[in-house]
Amino acid sequence: MREKGKPVKIICPGKVYRRDDDDATHSHQFMQIEGLVVDKKATMADLKGTLALLMQHLFGKDREIRFRPSFFPFTEPSVEVDVSCFKCNGKGCPMCKHTGWIEILGAGMVHPRVLEMAGYDSKIYQGFAFGLGVERVTMLRNEIDDIRHFYTNDIRFLHQF
């Protein structure tokens, strides 16, 4: 982003720390894949298309996504992104808590103030960003029932993979 006026398209991994209750599906630390696009014509439609393609690649071509309004400090608007349940095909089962949907990631359009602080003219440039938890995707793809298994160093768990 230091080269002003140039589009940015990145995917990068990193460890995330957050205040969260430690339960079977959440952890106060996890690995996340961040995506960021900044360009003159980046739109919410581009974000939706990118995420639909990613979810279909990860969970199958029949997957649908939906956006729900949310709040993240660096994006506006912000959304939670759900994927249609790949176990029951959206009919409702224990994996999706009988809703047909599984919350998978957070995303949104980069807040204009964030762009300005990075030296971009927010009247010309827009961007979108998303964060996808690696453990969450692994849990869903492999039907792992407790995120804490990743951190206990139990060799029996590791030998499954």
> Domain spans of the chain?
8-62+106-158
Q: What is the pLDDT of residues 47-100, one digit of tens each?
A: 999 999 998 899 888 888 999 999 999 999 999 999 888 888 889 988 788 999
Q: Which residue's structure tokens are 């660096």?
A: 74
Is 110:74 a contact under the CB 8 Å cutoff? yes
Give the CATH architecture of domain 8-62+106-158. Answer: 2-Layer Sandwich (3.30)
How confident is the model at residue 23, as a pLDDT?
Answer: 58
Burial 22-46 (b: 16+ CB within 10 A, else e): eeeeebeebbbbebbbbbeebeeeb
Q: CA 29, CA 120: separation in Å to the nearest integer?
A: 31
Least confident span in 69-73, 76-80, 120-124, 138-142:
138-142
Question: Whole-angstrom distance between the N-terminal and C-terminal Cα of the chain?
Answer: 38
